[in-house]
A and B are shown apart, each in its own frame.
Chain A
Amino acid sequence: MGNHKNAAKPTIVPLALLQATTIGPSRQLVAQPAGRVLLALGMLLICFLGGCVTVYQPLVGLQRPTVVDPQQDNFAGQKIRVRCLPEQNLNSKQAQVLCTKISTMFSNQGAIVQTVVPSERGTSELDDTEGLPDLTIDTKVRLVAEQSSVLLVMASVWTLTLVPQIVEYTFDHEVTIRDRDGFALVTATLSARFIRYFGAGVWAVNGLLDWLVRSPDEKLGGNVGSQDFSRDLYRQLSQLAFTANMRARVMRSFAQTPGVQPALPPQENP
């Protein structure tokens, strides 16, 4: 009610005083440009230092439990042929690298491995002069989905990457394992999803969380995504190959193949 009485009378302010009050204290004018330059430089530095955080999420197939231990001799003396088929999203060079890694994985488990990367013209690069392999593993990689947002890119640039850019990929690894006669023993699709965050903000927050809060198993920064994916892929491939191997043995009524060590006996019998 007091305000009501005061508000009834309009306040007349001299124009000169009005002009004076719109300008801040003069001493701040001297410090402002240098401060702004320093802040801008700092933000640019953060922007350039900010990196990627790639989060890996196993989809159907890759998050199933496995029993086979890839560090044991599960395929002692077995001949395994690994074929990595180049696709639109996997050129010959990348397929060769993939084949080499899978080959190393099986070799560590006692198998004799040969790798084949069919050329894009469809002819095999390796003549089959070494006899039929016990198992042939075909792998094909497909990019199933890719998502990004132009709005987020713009927001990221405008906020100097405090708002992160987010790109998402989903890959399918199609695996087919055949016996020496070419019959398919096991087919499976192993799906993986990768979400790449690029930005100073998310990189800094993730780094802090990794350093101060998360246990070693839960870290997300650095190469962790790739390592987790590799571990899952190798375990699943080992399990699929072992399953295929056992099916092949059962279908051949357990006929012994040269150089194959007998499998561990089951714990119970009828």
Chain B
Amino acid sequence: MDVVAVTKPCLWALCATFWVLPLVARADNEPFDAVDRAKVETLRADVAGEIQLQAYDLLDELVFGWNQQPVFSTDTPVVLADVSVPVGFGSGLQALVETHFASLIIKNPRTHVLLSHCPQCTSVVVRSGAKGTVISRGAQEPQTLQQAGASAGSRHALFLDFEVEGSSLVLRARITRLDADLLIVHAKVLSTSTGTPALLRSDERLKSAGEARQEYLDALRGRSVLAVPLHIGVRTYAPGGRTVGAPAFVWLSGGVEASLTQKRAWLGSFTVGASWSPQLHVGWMAQARASRLLSGSESSLTSPDIYGFIAGSVISIYGKDAAVFQDRVPNIANLISTAQGNDPQAVFAAFALGLEIRVKNRIGVGAFLETLPTMTNAQNIGSYVDLGIFAFQSLGVEASLCF
């Protein structure tokens, strides 16, 4: 190894790093407050979106409970008196919650809850008397409303309160009878957490959280341990010192793939493949592959997964193209065989290292480098990457379909 040849690029790379990093740091530091504010706003939007979905889940759960055990035996008008959102959040979430709740109630008449419109119930009411002046919401002063001739239109008021408590979102719902006592006739406390994915239930067909979870588990178990992969790939070989280079080989292979862990973090597969070019070659290949998920700890149902893999193959090429894999000086027997019209044959092992991107364990694309340990002396085969310990002579790309 040439010391100068090693040192120079390293020094240049180090210098470049030291030049670039301060620039990055400076870019990161100078308009620090603005960048920080922008990041916080983006995070806020993400969190608000997540809270919205979790809030919908809690409302679904609440209405599902009313479907199973209605609060009222007959259809009863109820005023939606107040929807309060977590401390620190704005009124946008309030409007979304109200709309979703109204939609749920309309689509689930079995609850016997009829939403009633009462603007005076949510307005501020001022009552003055001998004992003093009281300022409150109309729903908390039903007698005042009655005296003022502004009847609530219903005898019950519903209050929905959402609050963030650590990693949990809690819904507290209560229905109050609008009379002098303001007794709470029904109350429910429900909670969820950031670790629980939103169930996204349909408004018309509500399910309990338990049923939805069971469906989710069934869907997970339904992801079969075994799959049938189909790979369509192209292998190219680095040209050697000679003018004759190896052609690209198109391979079609299929086999069986198994998930070795629950999270599909490890996969193992065995495939057999074939390559054919008219009058040039026929090839057969058997490959065993082990893949490891790199883009997380579990495969995702919604985003692409990146796998790294190593593979071992045995490849047999028969035909005129097999001549490029000759790694020894032909002897008399080879010459006679060629003169008699027998095409050369090459059988060799290959070890691959590659990356594959998969979507939903159905479609994938990948690229790999292969080392052919027995081809180090082949004159027509060079190497793309030489690590000293071994060299990669082949570069391939493939597209995969899994069934």
Chain A residues within 8 Å of B, Cβ to Cβ: 3-4, 6-8, 10-13, 15, 18, 21-22, 28, 31-32, 34-36, 38-39, 208, 212-213, 215
- 0 or 1 for each of B22-36: is its CB under 8 Å from A? (1 = yes): 101100110000000
Q: Flag if B323 contacts A208 (CB, 8 Å).
A: no
State which of B1, B2, B243 has its C-beta within 8 Å of the C-beta of A6: B243
Q: Are B330 and A31 in contact (CB under 8 A)?
A: no
Interface contact A10-B323, CB-CB below 8 Å? yes
Asked if A213 contacts B25 (CB within 8 A), the reply is: yes
* Chain A to chain B contacts (Cβ below 8 Å), 25 pairs: A3-B244, A6-B244, A8-B323, A10-B330, A10-B334, A10-B335, A10-B338, A10-B344, A12-B330, A13-B329, A13-B379, A15-B329, A21-B241, A31-B2, A31-B3, A35-B3, A35-B6, A36-B1, A38-B3, A39-B3, A208-B21, A212-B21, A212-B22, A213-B25, A213-B28
Judge if B320 is at the interface, Cβ distance under 8 Å.
Answer: yes
Task: Output the least CB separation between B380 and chain A (Å).
Answer: 8
Q: Check if B60 is an interface residue, CB within 8 A of chain A.
A: no
Cα distance A74–B326 when bound, in Å? 86
Indicate if B45 sits at the interface (CB-CB under 8 A): no
Residue B305 CB within 8 A of the other chain: no
Contact A7 B6 (CB under 8 A): no
Decide if B2 touches A28 in the complex (CB within 8 Å): yes
Q: Is B280 an interface residue (CB 8 A)?
A: yes
A18 CA to B326 CA, complexed, in Å: 13
**CB within 8 Å for A10 and B243 given contacts A4-B320, A39-B1, A212-B21:** no
Interface set of B (CB-CB < 8 Å, partner A):
1-3, 6, 17, 21-22, 24-25, 28-29, 241-245, 247, 279-280, 320-321, 323-324, 326, 329-330, 334-335, 338, 344, 377, 379
A270 to B169, CA, bound (A): 29
* The 3 residue pairs across chains A and B that have the minimum distance between CB atoms: A35-B3, A212-B21, A7-B323
Q: Which residues in A have their C-beta under 8 angstroms from that of B245?
A: 3
CB of A39 within 8 A of CB of B6, answer yes
Chain B residue contacts of A36, Cβ below 8 A: 1
B1 touching A11, Cβ below 8 Å: no
The chain B residue with its CB closest to the CB of A5 is: B320
Q: Are B243 and A35 in contact (CB under 8 A)?
A: no
With a CB–CB cut-off of 8 A, which chain A residues contact B243? 6
Residue of B17, B21, B242, B323 with highest tally of chain A CB at under 10 A: B323
Set of chain A residues within 8 Å of B324, measured between Cβ atoms = 7
Decide: B242 and A11 in contact? CB cutoff 8 A.
Answer: yes
Q: How far is the CA of A6 from the CA of B247 in the complex (A)?
A: 12
Min CB gap B289→A, angstroms: 21
Among A7, A11, A34, A213, max chain B CB count under 10 A is at A7
Residues of A within 8 A of B320 (CB): 4, 7-8
Neighbouring A residues of B2 by C-beta, 8 Å: 28, 31, 35
Tell me which of A6, A13, A28, A32 has the highest count of chain B C-beta atoms within 10 A of its own C-beta.
A6
Task: Name the A residues within 8 Å of B335 (CB-CB).
Answer: 10
Contacts of B29 on A, CB cut-off 8 Å?
215
Report A9 CB to chain B, min CB distance, Å.
8
Closest chain-A Cβ to B164's Cβ sits at a distance in Å of: 14
Q: Which residue of A lies closest to B24 (CB)?
A: A213
Chain A residues contacting B329 (CB-CB under 8 Å) are 12-13, 15, 18
Query: Of all chain A residues, which has the CB nearest B280?
Result: A4
- Nearest Cβ on chain B to A20's Cβ, whole angstroms: 12
Per the bound structure, the CA–CA distance linking A208 and B18 in Å amounts to 9
